[in-house]
Amino acid sequence: MKLIDDTLKSPQGKYSRKNLTMFISIVISVALSFIVVIKYESNAIAVLYAWLAMATGQSILALRDKIKHREHKANIDEVD
């Protein structure tokens, strides 16, 4: 699937450890958020903000790595 190839795999076709960690942590945090809100009737908006902050931070890190890889690849292509 194109979505899995673009998000979870590195440009070399191998699964990216950082992207897999991001995906698993988002799934776990969503599950924990539901448990906290339903079982403990906690402040749902605080749980949502924490989840969004974590997901945003990990997405930014993954995007930064992909941009650095493209720049590195472009520099190698210029040399050749």
Q: Quote the number of domains for the chain.
A: 1
Rounded Cα distance between 48 and 42, Å, is 11
Is residue 40 within 8 Å of residue 4, measured between CB atoms? Answer: no
Provide the domain limits for residue 68: 2-79
Residues of the chain with pLDDT under 50: none
Cα–Cα dist 55/50, whole Å? 9
29 within 8 A of 21, measured Cβ to Cβ: no
Place of tokens 């974590």: 54
Tens-digit pLDDT profile for residues 66-77: 788 777 777 776
Phi/psi region, residue 9 (left: phi>0; alpha: psi -120 to 50; beta: rest), is beta
> pTM of the predicted model, to two decimals?
0.50
